[in-house]
Amino acid sequence: MLLELSESQLVLVDYQSKLFPAMWEAEKSWAHAATLAQMAKRLAVPVWGTAQNPSGLGELAPEISVHCRQVLAKMQFSAMEEGLGEWLKPEPEAPKGNARSLPRHLQKSQTAQPERNTIVIAGCEAHVCLLQTALDLLEDEFDVWVVTDACTSRTERNRDAAFDRLAGAGAELVTTEMVGFEWLRSAEHPEFKYWQGLIK
């Protein structure tokens, strides 16, 4: 099973300034997250960010937040507890006009956009906010793909324990390059050269 571009959304969890110095291999993780965000935006994949207690831990890194449709400020560790799920599932669009001006078949609510139930997710700390958000996404019946090289924790052991648990719960574990190449599928894709430039 490969990632489907048209079904994907990207969620980037808590890449914040005051967390950066404490994270294991933070520079690499932040760089991969920025690469994912740039490519997703280029391919019209919705990008969402979260920020844990931003007044204490700082805002989402600007190289990531600039690509996000919205950034969810939260206090709960799971972003799903703070309303992320409402962003990920499109609201039905209210019919335009009134009952007298519309034919009956147009009076029903219509979906604003097709559902994108595949969530590509990365962030920190992997064993806390990322893990709890991803487990809640799975429970809410989203397909969850965790980008391992864009995830980090204070220690490598904590990060890897999160991956073990997420894989056991049904999440797919992937890398940044796997995501990009699966979204493109072909060297003939018009954005292939752009992607090559990002990962070189």
Residues 17 and 149 sit within 8 Å (Cβ to Cβ): no
In degrees, to the nearest 5, what angle opens at C-alpha 91 toward C-alphas 60 and 96? 130
Mean residue pLDDT across the chain: 92
pLDDT digits (tens, 9 = 90+) for 102-157: 665 565 555 556 789 999 999 999 999 999 999 999 999 999 999 999 999 999 99
Cα 124 to Cα 166: distance, rounded to the nearest angstrom: 14
| pLDDT at position 93 over 90 | no
Please tell me the pTM assigned to this model: 0.89
Percentage of the residues of the chain whose pLDDT score is greater than 90: 86
pLDDT digits (tens, 9 = 90+) for 41-59: 999 999 999 999 999 999 9
Given this model, what pLDDT does residue 139 score?
Answer: 97
| pLDDT at position 161 over 70 | yes
CATH number of 5-89+114-199: 3.40.50.850
Given this model, what pLDDT does residue 135 score?
Answer: 98
Given this model, what pLDDT does residue 19 score?
Answer: 94
Given this model, what pLDDT does residue 38 score?
Answer: 97
Task: Kindly state the average pLDDT of the residues 74-103.
Answer: 80
| pLDDT at position 100 over 70 | no
| pLDDT at position 62 over 90 | yes
Q: Domain segments of the chain: what residues?
A: 5-89+114-199
